[in-house]
Homo-oligomer: A and B are copies of this chain.
Amino acid sequence: MERMNTLGVKTRPLIVSEIRKDFPIFNQHDGKKLFFLDSAASSQKPVQVLQAMDHYYSTTHANVHRGVYHIAEHATELYEGARATIGRFVGAPNPSRETIFTKNATESINLLSNSLTRGTLKKGDVVVLTEMEHHANLVPWLMAKEQFGIEIRYIMVDENGYLDLQNIDELLQNAKILSVSLTSNVLGTINPIRRLADLAHEHGAIAIGDGAQYVPHLSTNVTDLGLDFLAFTGHKMLGPTGIGVLWGKSELLESLPPFMGGGDMITDVRLDGFTPNELPWKFEAGTPPIAEAIGLAAAVDYLENLGMDAIRDHELELLSYAFESLESNFGKDLVIHGPRNVNDRGGVISFDFKNIHPHDISQVLDQSGVCVRAGHHCAKPLMRHLGIAATARASFHIYNDRSDVDALVDALAKARAFFG
């Protein structure tokens, strides 16, 4: 069975009941169903990913890059093969050189803020961010500001949860860097990244994308998006913890000084200095997350096998269903933050519910096996903008279907009865 997605591309619909069989966490035999609606914080892992790592550890583990013996050689091939797979997944023109493994998206952005500031920026140079950024795309720049005196400007968020681009040309005046999330982890807003990147380039600025919430859910091509750098993280895209990715244009990566120093990132070390290695190793100091890279490549295979367009279609369908269902059940008692048009959103729904504190919502929902996140979602400036301290947030991935939304609605009804 095929259907057309919004782009007119045929996709095979996800069969969630089959998908859930691949995820051990949904097959625990304690008799309680798990309604996991917190994939924006971290996704669950299919058995294929766990097996890829176990198989690696059980047959081939050795440190990479320096061994002549066959398991070390094979480990290196698997690690570098994972790099190529993951680079290709985001459309990297030169996946083997431009894909850098870090420990999470946060390190990817710190690498950039550190290397770019030391390598390119001077006191007073301007970095443009947005009010809806995750702390991962705020604090590294605030630290660079403290240390080097750069100036930070913010694109504000309008009342519908979109970026307010009225004064964008003014903001980009003399900017050296624009760094923006592709999808907001709170509002769900999918930002017009191509347009922003083009504008940045017109002003001579570098365009950085925080793809932590985008890459796991939508087909990604760094060239089409017009980006110079893209950061994302393994654990939100069915991969293991302990691994993140930075993709960057070769010319730019080549021009930057290294971030951390140590083994593998050098070609020579003397008592008085060192010579950095070639790309991508220049940015990978010490023993890398080998098993994690292999696990993430297995996750990418899993996602590609389902098809990123099919995944997007599935999430759009769920989003629409959730919007309708929440509205018809709770009307004005429940306020969803962010764009009304689901096509402008990732699979993330942050909401306020009847003055019930998000902690209490989450607690009551947990009693019904419904997992939602409650808090500031590492976006305190955005929270201030919204005038609240916290929200509850439900988010989807491939293993969710309407039954999760129904469970959410039922549990919310219980919470209302309890605190009402």
Contact = CB atoms under 8 A, between A and B. Distances in A.
A24 to B, nearest CB: 4
Per assembly, the copies of the chain total 2
Interface in A342-378: 359, 362-363, 365-366, 370-375, 377-378
A69 B365 contact: yes
Given A63-B38, A380-B268, A273 B142 contact: yes
Interface stretch (A128-136, A220-228, A248-256, A313-321): A128-136
Interface in A149-207: 152, 154
A104 interface: yes
A260 interface: yes
A419 interface: no
Interface in A1-59: 24-25, 28, 34, 38, 41-42, 44-45, 50, 53-54, 57-59
Interface in A58-108: 58-63, 66-72, 102-107
Nearest to A236: B287
Interface of A: 24-25, 28, 34, 38, 41-42, 44-45, 50, 53-54, 57-63, 66-72, 102-107, 109-110, 113, 118, 131, 134-136, 138-143, 146-147, 152, 154, 233, 235, 240-244, 258, 260-266, 268-274, 285-292, 359, 362-363, 365-366, 370-375, 377-378, 380-381, 384
Contact of A140 (B69, B154, B261, B384): B261
Contacts of A374: 67-68
Contacts of A66: 41, 373, 375, 377-378
A359 B68 contact: yes
A272 B377 CA distance: 19
A376 to B, nearest CB: 9
Given A107-B286, A109-B262, A261-B110, A292 B142 contact: no
B45 A61 contact: yes
Given A41-B67, A68-B359, A273-B142, A289 B57 contact: no
A136 B286 contact: yes
Contacts of A152: 271-272
Contact of A62 (B62, B72, B272, B371): B371
A291 B381 contact: no
A347 to B, nearest CB: 16
Given A58-B25, A362-B68, A135 B41 contact: no
A239 to B, nearest CB: 11
